[in-house]
Amino acid sequence: MTGGGLLVAGTTSDAGKSVVTAGICRWLVRQGVKVAPFKAQNMSLNSFVTREGAEIGRAQAMQAQACRIEPTALMNPVLLKPGGERSSQVVLLGRPVGEMSARGYHGGRQQQLLGTVLDSLAQLRATYDAVICEGAGSPAEINLRRTDIVNMGIARNASLPVLVVGDIDRGGVFASFFGTVALLSREDQELVAGFLVNKFRGDVSLLEPGLDMLHGLTGRHTYGVLPFRHGLGIDEEDGLAVSLRGAVRESAVAAPVGEDVLRIAVCAVPLMSNFTDVDALAAEPGVVVRFVDRPEELADADLVVVPGTRGTVRALQWLRERGLADALRRRAAEGRPVLGICGGFQILGEHIEDDVESRAGRVDGLGILPVRVRFAREKTLERPVGEALGEPVEGYEIHHGVADVRGGEAFISDGRGHGLDGCRVGQTWGTHWHGSLESDGFRRAFLREVAAAAGRRFVPAPDTSFAALREEQLDRLGDLIEQHADTDALWRLIESGAPRGLPFVPPGAPA
């Protein structure tokens, strides 16, 4: 028996598809439904490693958490990791299979992956009562419809009903809803069941006449109006948002425990990857996290983070051009805290030999840490565990660079005195482990060291649980769906598909 399904599409990128998908998943699992998330094709530098060592988008990993299940490669069979304006690394079922230009991908390769995508979805539907799928961008991107495997392409092939989400906070939501439907072919329109308004502020009764008119124009219902709420974003695909920062800042328990706050500056390097590494820092009461791109913005920072990047050599050049490289060297020489994560760790080293990512050959690093990096063609994808600063720590690794540490002390050990990862010299730390700061005890110990080195009377809160904050956030998403969506109608869609006899809205897709 095949489980039910639903495709959550959007009028635009960042309309709220990921959040709505996670909210529907959490609402369903609280009803006792065995549910899984799915996104056929994801373009993101914000990725995660599953237990079996597969790389998928972090949004799907968080949606799996909303479902209270372990994420797997089936949930995001195709991941595109941009390496520049015109090319991306293609990750298929969790493993990189090569670099490809956008023209090459949409010119034929994408359609070749449709079989893998449909097979992955079929396996999930055979295992779960329901699979909630997330689209990408807009389903009405008429220039890409012929090769589409993530929006109406997957909906048509898998007979999925489609719910279109629109961000009313941007304005123009009625035109966006109508135009999205009207630019689809008759066959595609038959699957578009209706709409969901996201990020509404104000009195819903003032919106209702417009929803009635939209129904008259399209023959389709609106399945809910979700109110605007700060701090509800799960791990975003890309961008500079710190997804938990807003929620914690507005929380009644956000006041610092000690006398001082701790200021953290994150260098906004090009092609930044896994910027969510700093979410756990922003979740701490009294910690202020900001992204920076000028050396003067480092002056009052108690800690500077150089994050991961898909373009290590390019990020290194950017740091030099901006004057940030010299500022980082000065900080390190003065004993002021610096943390490099993954690509940021590599940048802090002596030199990089890269014949894989940038093909730049040997490039001098910042020379702050005694580390030499060589890029291997095989990507490291692991979920390690260890110990640091006397506390257990776990994370995940996604990198081509292999570090040869030639001094300092290991940052993370196996708990028996043997180094596992990274390097520390003075108040400069580097590690390949993403997600390590989500380990509560380690994060608190690290922040205490930073505060001491910075001369701040900052005290980490003794009871901040990052995992609990995430669960709370996912429950709030589930509450939004349960309280503000027509859940009976949603379940009928998931179980039975799109209503029959939905009218065609002209003009339809171009010939």
d(CA 135, CA 336): 44
Strand, helix or coil for residue 482: helix
Q: Which of 111, 113, 84 is CA-nearest to residue 97?
A: 113
pLDDT of residue 107: 61
Are 389 and 449 in contact by the 8 Å Cβ rule? The answer is: yes
pLDDT at residue 229 in the model? 85
pLDDT of residue 298: 96
- Residue-level pLDDT at 4: 95
Look-up of token digits 């260098």? 267
CA atoms within 13 A on the CB side of 54: 19
pLDDT recorded at residue 246: 36
Collapse the DSSP code of 338 into the 3-class scheme (helix H, G, I; strand E, B; otherwise coil) and give the result. Answer: strand
pLDDT value at position 136?
A: 94
- Known catalytic residues? 342, 434
Cis peptide before 270 (omega within 30 of 0): no
Q: How many Cα atoms sit within 13 Å of 162 on the Cβ side?
A: 31
**What confidence score (pLDDT) does residue 241 get?**
45
Dihedral in degrees, nearest 10, Cα atoms 448, 449, 450, 454: 100
Residues of the chain short of pLDDT 70, as ranges, are 1, 85, 102-108, 231-254
Q: Which pLDDT score is estimated for 185?
A: 97
Query: What are the beta bridge partners of residue 128?
Result: none
Nearest to 498 by CA among 7, 38, 1, 2: 7
CA 493, CA 422: separation in Å to the nearest integer? 49
Task: Quickly list DSSP for 67-96.
Answer: TTS---GGGSSEEEEESSSSEEEEEETTEE
pLDDT at position 250, please? Answer: 38
pTM above 0.75, yes or no: yes
Helical axes 173-182 vs 204-218, angle rounded to 10° = 20
